[in-house]
Structure 1
Amino acid sequence: MSLFARLNGMLFGVILMCFLSNLITNIQESQNYLEEQLDSHSQDAATSLGLSLSNIIGLEDIAMIETTVNSIFDSGYYHSIKLYKIDGTPLVIREYPTQVEGIPNWFIALFPLNPPTNQTEINDGWRIVATMKIQSNPGLAYYQLWQMASNTFISSGIIFVLALITGWFLLRIILRPLNAMEEKANAIADKDFSPITMLPKARELRVVVEAFNRMAAALKRNFDEVSIYAEKMRQQAFMDILTGFGNKRSFMSKLALELESKKSGNSGVVGLFQLQGLQALNEKHGYQEADRHLKALSMKLKQSFSEHPQSSFFRLQGAEFAVIMPNTDIGILEQIQPLLNQALKQADTDVAGAFVRYQEGQQCGEVLAQLDNQISHSLQNGCQVSVASDERQATQRTDWHGVIDNILVNQRIHLVFQPITDKNKQVLYYETLTRFVDEQAKPLNTGDIFSAANRINQTMALDKAIFLQVLNTLKQSSQVTLSINLAGSSLADEAFQAFIFSELKQEEKLAKRLIIEVSETSANHFLVALKALVAGLKQSGAALSIDRFGTSFTSFSYIQSLKPDYLKIDGSYIRQLEQHKDNQFFLKTLVQIAHGIDTKVIAEHIETQAELDTAQELLVDGFQGYLVAKPGPLAN
């Protein structure tokens, strides 16, 4: 129970006690007053009636005596009048039952009125000849007591309610800084170190708030220092400082991962660019001018691929640059090639460019040899971008619109699932992997399908179909949690977000077993739009996962803004993890930062026992790869 609730309870109890004590005290005082009035009333009547009877008691005229007694008794204000001779013989007995109408019995039982019986002696001269006893009727007194109690209850009740409301508002105002401190404590746990701006007037609370702010500032410095140091070490190990691209080591690791991926015919495009005459430029104008050309070329390359945020850029050595475009076919270069040729011609020196298509299962040496061959073609053609022909692609898929429409209309989408397990081999969740088949039920290349869908603006339609199929799987399998990797361009679209939230609202129980995955490159590219998505997912109960984390050399700060539930480390950091101290340091630091914001870290592409053991030593939370389990149906 919160402090505010406890104080409210105490305030309610105190005011209630005051209310009840005031009510009961007033009733009891009125009760005593009415009993005194009844006593005085009966005593006055006894005295008056005794004097009247003294004049006629010696005549022994019973009729006259009764008439005199009745004249008093018939007023209705007396419960009983009893006249006895001195020897105890009754002369006149009159009794009237106490009648109380409209007053609850419980009230009479709680506050009884006991009017005393007053007695007087009647004399005949100097001789006492009779005694008389009179008791007042409490009926009217009960009515007056009830009316007084009702009025007191109403007036005290109004004061009671007003006091409660006033006390509630005062407590809200006084304890508002405590609410801010509670929110700040939760924010600090999520690595949000912004200060509390509202300082309370109460000295004790102000001191606590100021201490909170100092603590938050110190924690922010520590967190920033760790993040900056980790980023710096990662950049030194994997990034070219001049251009901000990945270095040769990063390129070779990324390409090897793409070729060894084992994700249903993983494929893409790799490009190589060579700036000609760099050595001569360096000798003639100095290294600063040469660096300016290299930075200018890197910016032109990035601008040319701005519509493809999944692309990764690298500077290999000297004047060589490379780009890797996962899930991309040669056909998409038809859109890029003219713009790229135009951009490269604007460079101050010639730039040769070449693209080849890679396929899962190829060797790195084979792909690099094809690139070298295509670079030679580019040089021979006046540094025009050279693209290796892909006869299989050209002859097998001539109508991508028809292929994808057929997939959507006939639901030719098959789902398989690969588990992510913890160190105890307990399944955390299953990643959903998509497979496509044609009319003859023959498998299609997944990378080709997604690449073509992107080229003909069908990515969102494809993502919707996959999303609905995953929800249907969750309905059929009530014990599992599934993740689904969706395109960043789809997730950033307001209409697609509305579609997701609408479906999750209808299936609230399913939302808690759903994880939405988005790649790091997409998360950075669509960061502003994805913040709205994250807010909606948190509200519905669904989780967010950042896939292929580490492929972009960006600050860790965006993790704080998105606060994902999971971070999946790009497999290029996991490949031969036990042999690379830099990768181990990066992963260890990332685990510390992620755990600080209650985010779990997943290592994917675990293929060897050594990789698994090293990842476990670095306190990674989950593990995925062929060593852990192969993709398959949920039944397996």
Structure 2
Amino acid sequence: MSMYRQLWLAIVVSMLLALGGGLLASMLSARSYLGSQLSIKNTDNATALALSLSQGTPDAVTVDLVVASLFDSGHYELIRVTDPSGKLISERVGDAKDLDAPAWFAHLLPITATPGQAQISSGWKQFGTVTLVSHSRFAYGALWKTAYEMVLALSLAGVVGGFLGSMVLGRIRGPLRTVIEQAKAITQRRFVTVELPKVPELKQLAVAMNATVGRLKAMFEEEASRLELVRKEANFDPLTGLANRSHFMARLRQAIDAEDSVGGTLMMVRLADLIGINRRLGRASTDDFLKVMGRTIHAVSATSSNGVAARLNGADFAVLLPAEKAGYAVGVQLLQDMALAAAPFVDGAVTAWIGVGRFAAGADVGSLLSQVDLALADAEAGGTDGVREAQADAADEMPRTVDQWSTMIKRALEHQWVRLISFPVVNAQGALSHRECPLRLMFDEKGEWLPAGRFLPVAERLKLTPALDLVAVALGLQELKSAPDLPGLAINLSASSLEDATFQPRLMALIAAQKELAPRLWLEMAEGGALKHLEAFKVLCRALNAAGCRTGLEHFGHHFSQIGQLHDLGLDYLKVDSSFVRGVESNTGNAAFLKGLCSIAHNIGLLVLAEGVTSSAELDVLLALGFDGATGPGVRILPITPSSH
């Protein structure tokens, strides 16, 4: 039995005991009072009758007439007159059953009264003795009326007491429920502080719980800060703060090979005569020069959420930009900004050269680097600040207008030219955890199936991602229904869908229609988009968790410093970005970062999965670091061996 019910039971029992005791005490007191009053009345009436008879010359006939007259008034149960020897002179006895109260009440609370007696005299001689008992029906009637009124009054008091008790329990129940929810949140590794209740005992408990949460959160944030430093040391240049060569190459490969790749622009930047600047100005000033150039180059990449700037070696830098950026124009503007920032250091000499090249999803990394490097060499050969663009491969382009894209996407949705493809995600034991199922579109019945990276950027600009996400979830639910042995199926949702107020209700209605499939439905969103729409994403996560779905983040790790914001989302898993996974067997810095990431994530109840695993060596290292599973071309599903009997 809950404490709340126990308190209610205690209040009800206490009130019943108090009210019942009060009623019983009142009835006994009233009965005693009525009994004593009845006894006094008997004595007074008997005395009055005897005195009346004694004033004359009493005889048997006169006495009988007086007794009969008095008895006929209906106020007496018994009037008896006897002579001094005890011989009966006159007697009248009434029916005691005629009461002004229920028989059970009279039986339960009998009123006892002493009969009244008095001596009748005839002159100086004793004539006889009168014994008189007044009728008790009036006393029972008065007692019954008192009991009835007392029960009504006490019932009203009970109702008022119950209402006041409910108010008091309500004031206790709210803070108590808040403290209980806080305790549950701690067991779920969520750090939630509560307002201090006014109830002193609960206030002390809340203070202790808030202090515990504060210490846990501080420990969590301290560990996260330490790992953030490890991540930066492993992946960023200590002087400029830009990405180092290995991390940049991993991000470049991801931008080319990822399922949702949209292509992009690669810029390679070379500072002119860095050795001469170092010789002329000294190491400290040269470091200042590199920092200034790093900040200028980083400003270009920061204009896009997916942009990356890196220092490849001493004088060489690189920038990775999304496909929608006009690479050559950005390069020209960057060169102007660099020349302006470098003026105090180069003394009118050449500042830098830039090579620019566009690439499409699935391009060859080696060929891309070679083409951009040739463009850079061409710019350097010019002898002055310059920007050169590598020859673009026209076959990689899809020159369509936004209106054409809109028409084709809507047409594909209308004709159901959509499907999901499947990639396995295995757990640490090598068994299938779930399947990742990205969406594909086809623009005509005999066309090619386009990956998300080809149509998703345009769909985001056209506000069509909610329709695409809902179609993907519907297809996923169909797949789960047709494959009851499938342990799970993951659908990626676009962060831009959260901007549509109708998206979440439609999504929840779609899931509610097949709620038995919800526990096997995994829904995930890219880290950057989720953090950009954090409040809307939090509301969506809670609704999906209530429906039984699993929720997670993909491409995780680039905003690791914000992991403290994830503890209250109710997430189930994280998929770590492939740029941290690539080559982890030979990158001790990333290995240390990923090991700490797994530890922190596990401490807040999250599964940790790796994206883009390309080899068995990477997989083995990741599992040793604490990963719960992985996906990518390097994963393998181990066959299930039947148990022997």
The one-letter amino acid of 1:549's match is F
SS of match in other structure, 2:437: strand
User: Residue in 2 aligned with 1:368?
Assistant: 369
Percent identity, aligned pairs only, is 25
Structure 2 unaligned runs (5+)? Answer: 340-350, 639-645
- TM-score calculated relative to the size of structure 2: 0.77
5 Å-filtered alignment, 1:150-229, equals 150-157=148-155, 160=158, 185=183, 198=196, 215-229=212-226
**Aligned equivalent of 1:144:** 142
Aligned to 1:501: 505
CA deviations 1:419-450 (Å, max 9, x no partner) are 65655677765543212233225442212122
1:143 deviates by: 3.1
Contact 1:79 / 1:98 at 8 angstroms: preserved in 2?
no
Partner of 1:69: 67
Contact (CA 8 Å) 2:331, 2:387: kept in 1 or not? Answer: no
Backbone CA RMSD of aligned residues:
4.6
Deviation at 1:241, TM superposition (A): 3.3
- 1:237 equivalent to 2:234? Answer yes
Classify 1:140/1:58 alpha carbon distance in 2 versus 1 (closer, same or farther; 3 Å): closer
The Cα of 1:178 is off from its aligned counterpart by: 6.6
Distance 1:2 1:524 in 2: 40
Structure 1 residues 155, 72: CA separation in 2 closer, same or farther (over 3 Å shift)?
same
Check whether the contact 1:83–1:131 (CA below 8 A) recurs between aligned residues.
yes
The secondary structure found in structure 1 opposite 2:229 is helix
Letter in 2 for 1:444: W
Give the Cα–Cα distance (whole angstroms) in 2 for the partners of residues 628 and 117 of structure 1: 104
The 3-state SS of whatever aligns with 1:318 is coil
Residues 385 and 281 of structure 1, relative CA distance in 2, 3 Å threshold? farther
Go from structure 1 to structure 2 and tell me whether the alpha carbon gap of 1:355 and 1:189 turns closer, same or farther (over 3 Å shift): farther
Aligned to 2:344: none
Distance 2:137 2:506 in 1: 70
Higher alpha-carbon deviation: 501-510 or 593-602? 501-510
Relative to structure 1, the CA distance from residue 291 to residue 504 in structure 2 (aligned partners, 3 Å threshold; closer, same or farther) is same
C-alpha distance in 1 between matches for 2:560 and 2:278: 28
The reply on whether 1:346 has 2:337 as its aligned counterpart is yes
Matched, 1:27 2:27: yes
How far, CA to CA, are the matches of 2:432 and 2:104 in structure 1? 65
Partners of 2:78 and 2:92 within 8 A in 1 = no
User: 1:131, CA displacement in angstroms?
Assistant: 7.8
Where 1:585 maps in the other structure, the secondary structure is: helix
1:404 aligns with 2:409: yes
Task: Report the equivalent of 2:469.
Answer: 463
Tell me by how many angstroms 1:405 deviates.
2.2
AA at the equivalent of 1:484:
I
Alpha-carbon distance between aligned partners in 2 of 1:182 and 1:14, rounded to the nearest angstrom = 27
Q: 1:450 aligns with which of 437, 453, 456?
A: 456
Is the Cα–Cα contact under 8 Å of residues 123 and 130 in structure 1 kept in the other structure?
yes
Q: Report the equivalent of 1:388.
A: 392
Tell whether 2:357 aligns with 1:355. yes
In the alignment, the residues of structure 1 paired with residue 433 and residue 145 of structure 2 have an alpha-carbon distance, to the nearest angstrom, of 70
SS of match in other structure, 1:352: strand
Aligned to 2:346: none
What displacement does 1:231 show?
A: 0.9
Contact 2:360 2:397 in 1 (8 A): no
1:320 is aligned to 316
Structure 1 residue 251 corresponds to structure 2 residue 253: no
**Alpha-carbon separation, structure 1, partners of 2:624 and 2:31:** 82
C-alpha separation between the residues in 1 aligned to 2:582 and 2:335? 34
Contact map agreement 2:357 2:392 (CA 8 A) in 1: yes
- For the residue of structure 2 that corresponds to 1:383, the secondary structure is strand
Which shifted more, 405-414 or 270-279? Answer: 270-279
Q: Name the structure 2 match of 1:546.
A: 553
Distance 1:131 1:298, change over 3 A: farther
- Alignment partner of 1:271: what SS? strand
* Distance in 2 (alpha carbons) for counterparts of 1:443 and 1:81: 121
Cα separation, 2, equivalents of 1:43 and 1:420: 104
TM-score, normalised by the number of residues in structure 1 = 0.77
**Change in CA separation of 1:400 and 1:277 when aligned onto 2, cut-off 3 Å:** same
Shift of 1:500: 1.0
Q: What's 2:287 paired with?
A: 288
Matched, 1:573 2:580: yes
8 Å Cα contact 2:99-2:140 kept in structure 1: no
Shift of 1:158: 5.2
Q: Which residue of 2 aligns with 1:634?
A: none
1:460 and 1:95, CA in 2 relative to 1: closer, same or farther beyond 3 A? closer
Number of aligned pairs? Answer: 610
- Structure 1 residues 20 and 582: alpha-carbon distance in aligned structure 2, compared to 1, 3 A threshold: farther
State the 1:232 CA deviation.
0.9
